[in-house]
Amino acid sequence: MAVLTDINKQDGAPELRARARLLYGVLIIAFLALTARLTFLQIIQGERYTFLSENNRIRIKRIPGTRGMVFDHQGQLLVDSRPSFDLLFVPEDSEEPENTLRRLAHYLGRDEKELLAILEENKQRPAFDEVILGRDVDWSTVVAVESHQLDLPGITLRTRPRRSYANGAMAAHVLGYMGEIGSKQLKLLKEQGYAVGDEIGQFGLERRWEEVLRGQSGGQQVEVDALGRRVRVLHEVPDVPGYTVNLTLDRELQETAFEALNGKEGTIVALDVQNGAILAMVSTPAFDPNVFARGIKAEEWRGLIQDRLRPLSNRAIQGQYPPGSTFKIIMAIAGLEEGVLQPEARIFDPGYYNFGNRAFRDWKKGGHGYVDLHRAIVESCDVYFYQLGPRIGIDRIAKWARAFGLGEKSGLGLDDERSGLVPDSEWKRKKYRQPWYPGETVSIGIGQGYLTVTPLQLANMMAAIANGGTLYRPRLVAKVESVDGATVREYGPEKIRTIAIKPETLERIRNALADVVKAPGGTGGAARSSLVEIAGKTGTAQVVEMKGAYVKTEQLTYFNRDHAWFVSYAPVENPRIAVVVLVEHGGHGGDAAAPLAKKVIEKYVELQRRPADQRQVRVEGENRAD
Amino acid sequence: MQIDRRLISHFDWTLFLLTLTFVCIGVITIYSANYNITEEHAGGLPSRQLMWLGLGLVAMLTAIAFDYHYLDRIAYPFCGLMLFLLVLVLAIGHSGGGSQRWINLGFFRLQPSEPAKLAIVLVMAKYFQDDEPPKGYRLRDIWVPFAVVGPLVVLTLVQPDLGTAIILGVVFLSMILMSGLRLRSFFYLAGTGLALLPIGWHFLKSYQRARILTFLDPDRDPLGAGYHVIQSKIAIGSGRLFGKGYLHGTQNRLDFLPAQHTDFIFAVFSEEWGFVGCLVLLLLYLIMIAYCLRLMERAKDRFGGLLVFGMVAIFFWHVVINVAMVSGMMPVVGVPLPMVSYGGSALASMMFAIGVMINVSMRRYIF
């Protein structure tokens, strides 16, 4: 062998051998460089890359708890959560996004230009963010997408529980609406488990009862591949559905009230006089909360908040109006209770009342002649109450107004309730650093001046008068139940106070209120019903002060016209329901508001007479979203 | 032909066994790369790679069977055949992944750019087999190799297959340097090359430009062109010291890795076997290349030595470029990891190269 090796060395390629040493060097250096790189990646940065690889494959998918349903007091469904599908597209998951959309358009029978336009609009979005091609798409779309899934890379459907308001705008202000959680809200509520993109109650019941309705989000820890496709579920926390809320509201009565106000701006509130349960609460113009549920568009939102008729405001509790002549009820009670008033004593009304150097005119040109308290209420004589005001004095008037719940929030369980204003001398001193002038009390006598009330307050006042002097807290929610029907919380009548008032006083007032509707010359004749005897009081609240001349409503521009009030309860014997109607810029209360109250009361009576089993009962199961 | 008994006794088992080791590592890793977690199997690719191993063995035996001096005679015809096939690819080739690289032979899709690597080595070894001029070659002395290799490089570039073109280029450069190009000539060449770079940039496809830009700044487009490199680095890095275990590489299993059974197979391997596994694999390559360099030194003649060197250069550059690219040290160019990546043409070509080296090794004792 040695010989052979020698021969081999003599031949071969000496130059190559000489250069081979250099090659070994290059080889070693190259492999050291590769090893150094691997050391860096796997040893030094290993922990970081491990973290990245974990994050790469595990996604947290939140499953919002199914929001609780809302029923009326008869068990009729008002608000439901149903599953809905959004059609999404992640263009990065498709090699040819345009062609994918063309195929989709073909399968759906939609215009491909429209879909391509959506893609174009979203050009600036971050990579891998989904483009929403359609919200709450219909069932045929779902089927088409599912069955052509392989043909439609990047197209996915996302299930989302969606709020559904069975009766649209009918109870919009009571039920409220949902909206995406704002960044400020999120900061406050993050610890309660809210996340970006969550829907949260933004108004009405949805907002105030958010905690009860929302339930708890569940979640899935999902292992995904690079396309975000789910490989398997690693860990799961089930979601907890929200509680069901049963309202005191009666859907059918609400509907009647809503229809009565159709085309008008105003509000109707109906209370159960015996316990403060709110039977109906309508505010118009209304909005459709379903619009919010499907995701309101910017221009729709702008339209709602810029609307001069303020459709987003719940006039029943947020509207503060001068009570007008409806306040004469409080005036009469204060006068009787404070011993200032001899009910039988008659005064002469020439059509105006002079106080100081100013003349206050009666609504009736030429006046009512000689009137006592009863006639003054029935015919709504202004002069009678003008002169009564200064005799009682503002502080005693305020005391009685407040006793009936005016000037304070009722606490019905909705946000943004306003308190109205019952002025007195102290208030004026604090606010204006001025004494109260008796002349100001003259206007208070007919419910004008600084005085403002909310329609709900007047309804509660009427309820207290009807039930003999007990002021209940108005309630909207009767019961909270868990999904399986177990009662979680129940809300019974809650007395705010028993008003210390003589029965004779109430008796006198109630007789007068009954005559407002039934006696000839009564201002509330339009509320006279063949079904039931109604007691009530009209009111006309001035929006602008009329000096001197009498002006017909029709001659005023719309926004300067008076507001029309009608406050009422029924039946006269054993009252059950109190109804307050306010029609903004409706003119006279007797013409514009009283007929609406009559409609609601008649409906109530009809509902009471109808046997229970004829009323639609709650449908379980079918509509449940789960 | 007759088989000399001495040939069998001098058969280079070391090189042969190393080859089988690499192919085994390859098949095992290909299995993992295609392992489907839900269906719990890896489809047909691993067994097909074993089939290619059979084809490779045939290629290897062919390369061993004849005295390597026959290669001198077939170098130009072989090169001509490669040129023809590369033209054919452009004309009737099968395209995939945005480029046209394959000729469909029915049972087999031939990728001619793989054997083209061999053609370069053959032609160069043939051209430079005579003794060097005393002061080395000047550029004007080597216009023939340029004329032969140039068209091959251009044809792979237009497929486009930047990776193979680069391999062809660096193997060519390695061989002219090894064959005794004057240093000054080399610098002229390098200077001209640099000057031509901007023109080359102009001819690159947009995705190739993106890759180069992304290499310079990987975070430039983390979900686009930079995605592959970042995911590959995550796969390698998260393997850490001992790896996640066989079939447990999450990056690979969940399809975060691109071309996981071909060009990025090293990432799959690293994720599952960790730093220790990588070290073993690199060491095996190192041993093989060093062993082959030894063969070159001991080759009977200059032609044999150059043949071995050319083949070693192919291996060396493949390993270095592939690992550097997968670990983010250089831009992503499509270069397979020799004998480990999936692919019939590549495996058969590499095994033919091994066969040539075994041939030279065996016949160093025969006169």
pLDDT (tens digit per residue) in A155-182 = 888 777 788 898 889 999 999 998 888 7
Mutate to test the interface with B, among A6, A17, A38, A50 (most CBs of B within 10 A): A38
- pLDDT band (50, 70, 90) for residue A546: low
Residue A570: the pLDDT is 92
- pLDDT band (50, 70, 90) for residue A234: low
More confident call, A231 vs A106: A106
**At residue A70, does pLDDT exceed 90?**
yes
CA distance A29 to chain B (A): 11
Q: Do B255 and A41 lie within an 8 Å CB cutoff?
A: no
Residue A398: the pLDDT is 96
CA distance A420 to chain B (A): 59
Residues A623 and A166: their CA atoms lie apart, in Å, by 11
Residue A441: the pLDDT is 92
Torsion sign over Cα A528, A530, A531, A532: positive
**At residue A142, does pLDDT exceed 80?**
yes
pLDDT digits (tens, 9 = 90+) for A390-415: 999 999 999 999 999 999 999 988 88
Q: Which residue of B has its CA nearest to A225?
A: B254
Residue A620: the pLDDT is 42
Residue A156: the pLDDT is 81
Residues A494 and A496: their CA atoms lie apart, in Å, by 6
Q: Does residue A358 sit in helix, strand or coil? A: strand
Residue A392: the pLDDT is 94
Q: Kindly list the distances between the CA atom of residue A234 and the CA atoms of A158, A163, A222, A223, in Å, as whole numbers in the listed order.
A: 20, 30, 6, 7
Strand A244-247 with A70-71, pairing: parallel
**At residue A218, does pLDDT exceed 70?**
yes
Q: Is residue A510 part of a domain?
A: yes
Q: Kindly list the distances between the CA atom of residue A115 and the CA atoms of A97, A130, A587, in Å, as whole numbers in the listed order.
A: 11, 14, 51
Residues 6+ apart with CB under 8 A from A61: A219, A220, A221, A222
Which letter does DSSP use for residue A433 in this model?
Answer: S
Residues A597 and A591: their CA atoms lie apart, in Å, by 11
For the ranges A258-272, A412-426, A546-560, B243-257, the lowest mean pLDDT is seen at A546-560
Residue A2: the pLDDT is 39
Dump strand ranges (E) for B47-198. Answer: 94-96, 99-104, 109-110
Q: Do B327 and A39 lie within an 8 Å CB cutoff?
A: no
Average pLDDT over residues A61-74: 84
- Residue A624: CB atoms within 10 A of its CB come to 15
Tokens 């063969």 correspond to what residue? B295
Q: Is residue A53 part of a domain?
A: no
pLDDT digits (tens, 9 = 90+) for A604-616: 999 998 876 565 5
Average pLDDT over residues A73-96: 84
Interface of B with A in 275-294 (CB under 8 A): 275, 278-279, 282, 285-286, 289-290, 293
Q: Is residue B37 part of a domain?
A: no
Q: Is residue B116 part of a domain?
A: yes
Q: Shortest CA distance to A579 belongs to which of A455, A436, A395?
A: A455
Interface of A with B in 110-139 (CB under 8 A): 127-128
> Which chain B residues touch A231 with a CB distance below 8 Å?
37-38, 254
Residues A375 and A217: their CA atoms lie apart, in Å, by 63
Across the interface, of B298, B304, B329, the residue whose CB is closest to A37 is: B329
Residues A187 and A182: their CA atoms lie apart, in Å, by 9
Across the interface, of B38, B256, B305, the residue whose CB is closest to A16 is: B305
Q: Shortest CA distance to A611 belongs to which of A74, A141, A119?
A: A74
Q: Is residue A370 part of a domain?
A: yes
Q: Do A53 and B274 lie within an 8 Å CB cutoff?
A: no
Determine contact, residues B331/B212, Cβ cutoff 8 Å: yes
User: Can you give the three-state secondary structure of A308-336, one letter per residue?
Assistant: CCCCCCCHHHHCCECCHHHHHHHHHHHHH
Q: Name the token pair of A495.
A: 């007395």
**Which DSSP string do the residues of A364-403 spell out, in sequence order?**
STT--EEE-HHHHHHTT-HHHHHHHHHHH-HHHHHHHHHH
Backbone angles phi, psi at A453, to 5 degrees: -140, 165
Instruction: For chain B of 367 residues, list the mean pLDDT of each consecutive stretch of 10.
Output: 69 93 94 73 82 94 91 92 90 68 76 92 92 85 88 86 90 91 88 84 74 64 62 89 86 71 90 95 96 92 93 96 92 89 93 95 78
Across the interface, of B233, B255, B282, the residue whose CB is closest to A49 is: B233
Q: Which residue of A has its CA nearest to B180?
A: A15
Backbone angles phi, psi at B88, to 5 degrees: -60, -40
Residues B126 and B24: their CA atoms lie apart, in Å, by 33
> Which chain B residues touch A125 with a CB distance below 8 Å?
none
Across the interface, of B224, B251, B296, the residue whose CB is closest to A53 is: B251
Q: Is residue A580 part of a domain?
A: yes
Task: Report CA Rg, chain A.
Answer: 36
Interface of B with A in 182-201 (CB under 8 A): none
> Which chain B residues touch A32 with a CB distance below 8 Å?
none
For the ranges A86-95, A376-385, A522-531, A580-589, the lowest mean pLDDT is seen at A86-95
CA distance A19 to chain B (A): 7
Q: Is residue A66 part of a domain?
A: no
User: How many domains does chain B fold into?
Assistant: 1
**At residue A37, does pLDDT exceed 50?**
yes
Q: Is residue A93 part of a domain?
A: no
CATH (domain of A433): 3.40.710.10
Mutate to test the interface with A, among B240, B271, B309, B330 (most CBs of A within 10 A): B240
Across the interface, of B256, B275, B323, the residue whose CB is closest to A39 is: B275
Residue B305: give the domain boundaries: 67-256+264-333
Determine contact, residues A355/A422, Cβ cutoff 8 Å: no
Q: Is residue B363 part of a domain?
A: no
Tokens 């001193």 correspond to what residue? A429
> Which chain A residues touch B254 with a CB distance below 8 Å?
56-57, 223-226, 231
CA distance B365 to chain A (A): 7
Q: Kindly list the distances between the CA atom of residue A245 and the CA atoms of A9, A79, A194, A209, in Å, as whole numbers in the listed order.
A: 99, 10, 21, 9
Residues B366 and A609: their CA atoms lie apart, in Å, by 121
A366 at interface of B, judged by CB pairs closer than 8 A: no
Q: Is residue A153 part of a domain?
A: no
Residue B283: the pLDDT is 96
More confident call, A375 vs B158: A375
- pLDDT band (50, 70, 90) for residue A207: very high
Q: Is residue B62 part of a domain?
A: no
Q: Which residue of A has its CA nearest to B329?
A: A37
**At residue A618, does pLDDT exceed 50?**
no
Q: Name the token pair of B55.
A: 């084809």
> Which chain A residues touch B125 with a CB distance below 8 Å?
none
Before B160, cis peptide (omega within 30)? yes
User: How many domains does chain A fold into?
Assistant: 1
Residues 6+ apart with CB under 8 A from B159: B89, B90, B93, B99, B100, B101, B113
- pLDDT band (50, 70, 90) for residue A183: confident
CA distance A110 to chain B (A): 31
Residue A7: the pLDDT is 44
Give the count of Cβ contacts less than 8 A between chain A and B: 144
Q: Is residue B341 part of a domain?
A: no
Residue A487: give the domain boundaries: 251-612
Residue A593: the pLDDT is 94
Residue A58: the pLDDT is 63
> Which chain A residues touch B304 with a CB distance below 8 Å?
12
Q: Where are the alpha helices (DSSP H) in B158-301?
A: 162-178, 183-203, 206-216, 226-239, 250-253, 265-297
**At residue A619, does pLDDT exceed 50?**
no
Q: Is residue A444 part of a domain?
A: yes
Residue B194: the pLDDT is 87
Q: Shortest CA distance to A156 belongs to which of A120, A130, A138?
A: A130
Q: Is residue B232 part of a domain?
A: yes
A619 at interface of B, judged by CB pairs closer than 8 A: no
**At residue A486, does pLDDT exceed 80?**
yes
Mutate to test the interface with B, among A1, A42, A224 (most CBs of B within 10 A): A42
B250 at interface of A, judged by CB pairs closer than 8 A: yes
Q: Do B270 and A42 lie within an 8 Å CB cutoff?
A: yes
Residues B309 and B178: their CA atoms lie apart, in Å, by 8
Residue B101: exposed, middle, or buried by beta-carbon count in 10 A (0-12, 13-18, 19+)? buried
Residue A248: the pLDDT is 95
**At residue A295, does pLDDT exceed 80?**
no
Q: Do A226 and B329 lie within an 8 Å CB cutoff?
A: no
Tokens 């006042």 correspond to what residue? A461
